Amino acid sequence: MSRVRGLAWLVLPLLLGGLSWSRERPVRQRTTHDGLLLVEGDFHVHTRFSDGIVSPADVVLLAEDRQLDVVAVTEHNVTFPAKIARLFAELTHSRVLVLVGEEVTSRDAHLLALGIEETVDPRQSVRAVATEVHAQGGLIAAAHPVKRYWPALEPACDQLDAVERIHPLAFREPQAWGAWSEVVEFQRRCGNPPSLGNSDFHFGPDFAQPRTYLFVESLTREGVLDSIRSGRTVVRDPDGSLFGDEPWVRAVAVAPEPPARAPRSWARRIVGVVALLLFVGLFATRSRKRAT
């Protein structure tokens, strides 16, 4: 009975969370350039399975709401929340491609492992993490590489497929843990690997702000990863200017803006709050059992 109750606490928040966003959304009309499809993605998103608020199902629905084409769920040192999001997208025939990812998190560095299937152990060097990710066919990117992470990251620059150049840190005053100027300097010191723009979303209105523009041969896992590896990415700096290789920057500059997102009803908001409370109840129940 306790296992059934635990499963219910897990499933109900996912189901109710999935209902917390309106399904009436305008469909994005994608543009092409030199035979490649221009798509938009966010490759650094957290859920309530670690230090975020929304469910994996909500990530998919939020991605639709924000007119994203691809999203990566990157929880700290686990992959199963990303697999839940991918399954939800498949079952609901979402137009959003979900990449399984992980934020490989240690005190030495934070790394985004994208397009993987198996969890990567963070208790190893950056080079070893990159080797393991590449063996799975995925790619590795330095997440918000501020100066405190340079000692671990710089010896493995040749293994990095990308750098998270644009992060919410870019739009804030320097923080105690680092400044955006350090991220820009790291990318330069590392030989300018391709750029990603990610929201590092945990909660609030900042999902998909910032984001990455990509030119892909196909909206598939392989197509997206190849686009990043090949440097067909563009990001928007805090001053509004586009950063990337010139042909792709020009193509993004003339692309039409996506339609505005649909408003959420109060009923959907209430259901979302209920879903969150149910999930909190799961951990409260577990805590009481441990105490007894």
What does each of the 292 residues of the chain score in pLDDT, given as a tens digit? 555 555 554 555 555 555 554 445 555 567 788 899 999 999 999 999 989 999 999 999 999 999 999 999 999 999 999 999 999 999 999 999 999 999 999 999 999 999 999 999 999 999 999 999 999 999 999 999 999 999 999 999 999 999 999 999 999 999 999 999 999 999 999 999 999 999 999 998 889 999 999 999 999 999 999 999 999 999 999 999 999 999 999 999 998 776 555 455 454 555 456 555 655 665 555 556 555 5
Q: Of 98, 10, 101, 20, nearest to 270 (Cα)?
A: 20
Ranges of beta strands (E only) in the chain are 32-33, 36-45, 70-76, 97-105, 110-114, 139-142, 162-166, 195-197, 212-216, 233-236, 242-244
Domain ranges within the chain, ordered by starting residue: 1-20+267-292, 29-263
For position 8, what pLDDT does the model report? Answer: 52
Nearest of 201, 203, 221, 217 to residue 70 by alpha carbon = 221
Superfamily of domain 29-263: Metal-dependent hydrolases (3.20.20.140)
- CA dist., res. 25 & res. 194, Å (int): 31
Contact 76, 93 (CB under 8 A): no
Q: How many CB atoms are located within 10 Å of the residue 247 CB?
A: 12
**What's the pLDDT at 114?**
98
* pLDDT tens-digit map of 192-241: 999 999 999 999 888 999 999 999 999 999 999 999 999 999 999 999 99
* Distances, alpha carbon 254 to alpha carbons 29, 39, 93, in Å: 14, 14, 30
Percentage with pLDDT > 70 across the chain: 78
Of 21, 123, 133, 9, the closest CA to residue 72 belongs to 133
At residue 255, the pLDDT reads 86
Asked whether the beta carbons of 241 and 28 are under 8 A apart, the reply is no
- Whole-angstrom CA distances from 79 to 46, 47, 72 are 11, 11, 11
What is the pLDDT at residue 280?
60
Identify the pLDDT of residue 218: 95
